[in-house]
Amino acid sequence: MNKMKINNEKSFKEVTEDKAVAEILGKLGGEVPTIFDRSASMKCCPIGSSVSGICCKNCGMGPCRVREDKTGLCGATLGTITARNLARHIAAGAAAHSDHGRDLAHLLGLVAEGKAEGLEIKDELKLMKLAKNLGIEIGDRDIKEIARDTSKKALSLFGQQEGEIDLIKVAPGKRQEVWRKNNVVPRGVDREIVEVMHRTHIGVDQEAEHILDQAIRCAIGDGWGGSMIATEITDILFNTPQARKAKTNLGMLKEDEVNLVIHGHEPTLSEIIVELADNKELVEYAKSKGAKGINVVGICCTANEVLMRQGIAPIGNFLSQEIAIMTGAIELMVVDIQCIMQALGKLTKNFHTKLVTTSPKCKISGAIHMEFKDSNGLELAREIIKMAIDNFPMRKEKIYIPDVTSDLVAGFSHEYIKYMLGGRFRESFRPLNDAIIDGRIQGVVGVVGCNNARVTQDKYHNFLTRELIKRDYLVVLTGCAAISTAKCGLMEPEALEYAGEGLRSICEAVGIPPILHLGSCVDNSRILTVLSEVVQEGGLGEDISDLPVAGIAPEWMSEKALSIGTYVAASGVYTVFSGEPIPVESSSEVKEIMTKGWQEKYGGQLEYIPDIEELLNKVLSVIQEKRKALKIDIKKERVLLDMEARRALKDV
């Protein structure tokens, strides 16, 4: 282990922009190895970079290492292998999101039948909306019946074999036509994932463009299928988010309370834990063990879910998970699925912290497995909280909690944004469209995705967000990107002062911050819904591809991010990834297909630009081009009206 490399103040700042993480590394870095040490001592495998070609291990004659001038044993070319590898990544990402969505669809059915203890339908209006989109009869039927049928129909979309998945109808009509024309409307969520796996098996699909079209069909099944189902049903069962204040970062751990961290992606058990942590009896029990109370906080997207609905503090994003344990203040970390480092199993052994896995899909050696089975939620949550409390007196190491916190505002569902814009009785995206048309808002940019140990933690998210709002671009965030900007204080209400004049005037008038936290990774589907409704509102073209918007994943690392980027591009948005490594770097053919080729076919593209300033400039120029095409690029003079002029206007 190369401890020397990062065991000094300067290099801590090189690996993270998060002050709390840097502080802990400064105190304890090197004593126990973390991902930052591993990243310093192990370079990325160079295969895949343009000079070294790419590797295929799709059959037992390989691995074959292939370059521009050399094929694999079977004759597969560089372009084919690059496309196949990427398609498989996308299929894995889509599978992760969709399996998460499937579980929620299943859960909705159990709740409808009263078989999920501690859970109920919280947002009936939202249930009606989803039921309608899925073609379920509403009439004056009982809410439970509607919920049961909605669950059944949602579940059927995963295994559907023919036709089209219903939710693509949320997209503008013109967009649906683009997909139909290119034959990429998903027939069923699972079916497209399976077909990617089949087509990338040795000797099947061997034309890069054709393989990538299937990857697109699979990704659309994620965004407009699995992920959308996950978001909608989470809102139905746990409430559609509304703006709420909260705090973030490691300073939210409490020295004198039982600290319980929820980490992963699934909201269900976490929601129950959060609610139960206020239970008087349990709080009394904690007091009997010498603690002042029970403090539930989160990491990664489970944190985003409970932040959006309950205001629970996210104490960190992906790269903070080990660092949080190193505070010595965590009694128990309960994890479900996705983005949980296996390293936690070994790391927690150095501390009193208990690591508990709960999903039937995820076990980690060294962790205690306590399985969540839909119907045992309340009982399991109580057991986990009790275990955390019992562990409080077992603290042995020195507690070190950095005094670093930031305020934030989160909870921007598409419904809430619409409500803020138009007011309770006239919910509408009109004010947003008007602000974009008159240039006060130049465009909307999604900054999404992960942390990546090869990139300074949070740096790109924060840089881009600052630069964009300064130039009057409204920024929407999800996932770890959202936690980044929250940690550096960009989501504080005062952050408005960093925004350009036009954006600030709108935000002040409407009462929203210039940076909107839309939720977890599956909630990127909220962005799709917003874009569709903005198109429908009128004045900005007829399709998502006409809108002055872009998507960026500057610190991505997970396969889910690749699936997200692909469905966003396929929905007509200019999408750009940064960071390293670049999975298609070796093949100019594949890069060309995903940029020029997709632009022609889908009106959106997925590009990789490693240099962050170059990336920013590209995003700005793409959006300005869209404004030009819409003929809204000429900045209209803003006339300030006095009271009389306002009255006169009203009378017209």
521 binds, among ligand XCC, ligand SF4, none (CB under 5 to 8 A by kind): ligand XCC
Asked if residue 72 binds ligand SF4 (CB under 6 A), the reply is yes
Interface residue with ligand XCC, options 19, 102, 560, 626 (CB under 6 A) = 560
3-class secondary structure, 523: coil
From the list ligand SF4, ligand XCC, none, which binds 479 (C-beta under 5 to 8 Å, kind-based)? ligand XCC
DSSP characters for 404-438?
--EEEEE---HHHHHHHHH-TTS--SHHHHHHHHT
Least distance from ligand XCC to the Cβ atom of residue 520, Å = 6
**Closest separation between CB of residue 85 and ligand SF4, Å?**
10
Residue 301 binds ligand XCC, judged by CB under 6 A: yes
Could you report how far apart the first and last alpha carbons of the chain are, in Å?
A: 74
Please state the φ and ψ torsions of residue 542, each to the nearest 5 degrees.
-115, -5
As measured in angstroms, the least distance from the Cβ of 467 to ligand XCC is: 21
Instruction: Rank residues 203 and 539 by Cβ distance to ligand SF4 and give the closer one.
Output: 203
Stretch that binds ligand SF4, among 69-77, 101-109, 128-136, 373-381 (CB under 6 A): 69-77
**Taking Cα atoms as reference points, which of 276, 300, 307, 304 lies closest to residue 388?**
276
With tokens 């969505």, the residue in question is: 101
Report what 450 binds from ligand SF4, ligand XCC, none; CB cut-off 5-8 Å by kind: ligand XCC
Residue 143 partner contact from ligand XCC, ligand SF4, none using kind-dependent CB cut-offs of 5 to 8 Å: none
In the sheet with 258-264, reading across from the earlier edge strand, the strands are 314-316, 294-299, 258-264, 332-335, 354-357, 368-369
Closer of 337 and 435 to ligand XCC (Cβ): 337
The entry of ligand SF4, ligand XCC, none that residue 318 binds, CB within 5 to 8 Å by partner kind: ligand XCC
121 within 8 A of 127, measured Cβ to Cβ: yes
User: Nearest approach, Cβ of 195 to ligand XCC (angstroms)?
Assistant: 24
The binder of ligand SF4 chosen from 21, 40, 64, 211 (CB under 6 A)? 64
In whole angstroms, the minimum distance from the beta carbon of 451 to ligand XCC comes to 6
Query: What is the DSSP secondary-structure string of 177-219?
Result: HHHHHTT---S-HHHHHHHHHHHTSTTS---HHHHHHHHHHHH
DSSP 67-109: BTTB--TT---HHHHHHHHHHHHHHHHHHHHHHHHHHHHHHHH
- The DSSP bridge partners found for residue 298 are 262, 314
Beta bridge partners of 407: 247
Count Cβ atoms within 10 A of the Cβ of residue 390 and give its class: 0-12 exposed, 13-18 middle, 19 or more buried.
Answer: middle
> What minimum distance in Å lies between the beta carbon of 581 and ligand SF4?
20
Contact by Cβ (8 Å): 214, 109: no
Select the binding partner of residue 42 from ligand SF4, ligand XCC, none (C-beta < 5 to 8 A, by kind).
none
Contact (CB, 8 A) for 255 and 401: yes
If the CB atoms of residues 78 and 329 are measured against ligand SF4, the closer one turns out to be 78
Partners of residue 355 on adjacent β-strands = 333
Closest separation between CB of residue 376 and ligand SF4, Å?
A: 45
> Which of 32, 47, 74, 437 forms a contact with ligand SF4 (CB under 6 A)?
74
Residue 449 binding result from ligand SF4, ligand XCC, none, given CB thresholds of 5 to 8 Å by partner type: ligand XCC
Q: Is the dihedral of CA 107, 113, 114, 115 positive or negative?
A: negative
The burial of 215, by beta-carbon neighbours within 10 Å (0-12 exposed, 13-18 middle, 19 or more buried), is given as: buried
Task: Tell me the number of residues near ligand XCC by CB under 6 A.
Answer: 16
How many Å apart are CA 273 and CA 15, to the nearest integer? Answer: 33
Residues in 589-648 at the binding interface with ligand XCC, rule: CB under 6 A: none
Nearest Cα neighbor of 104 from 88, 116, 93 is 116
Number of residues in contact with ligand SF4, rule: CB under 6 A?
Answer: 13
Site for ligand SF4 in 3-62 (CB under 6 A): 56-59, 61-62
Provide the total of helices (H) and of strands (E) in the chain, helices listed first: 28, 16
Residue 59 interacts with, from ligand SF4, ligand XCC, none (CB under 5-8 Å by kind)? ligand SF4
Residue 197 near which of ligand XCC, ligand SF4, none (CB within 5-8 Å, type-dependent): none
- Region 49-78 residues binding ligand XCC, contact defined as CB under 6 A: none
Q: With respect to ligand XCC, which residue has the nearer C-beta, 333 or 593?
A: 333
Residues 445-504, interacting with ligand XCC (CB under 6 A): 449-451, 479-480
**Binding partner selected for residue 58 from ligand SF4, ligand XCC, none, CB under the kind-specific 5 to 8 Å limit:** ligand SF4
Q: φ, ψ for residue 176 (rounded to 5)?
A: -60, -40
Least CB distance from residue 233 to ligand XCC, whole Å?
18
Residue with tokens 């590209």: 618
- Residues in contact with ligand XCC by CB under 6 A are 265, 300-301, 317-318, 339, 449-451, 479-480, 520-521, 558, 560-561
- Residues in contact with ligand SF4 by CB under 6 A are 56-59, 61-64, 72-74, 76, 202
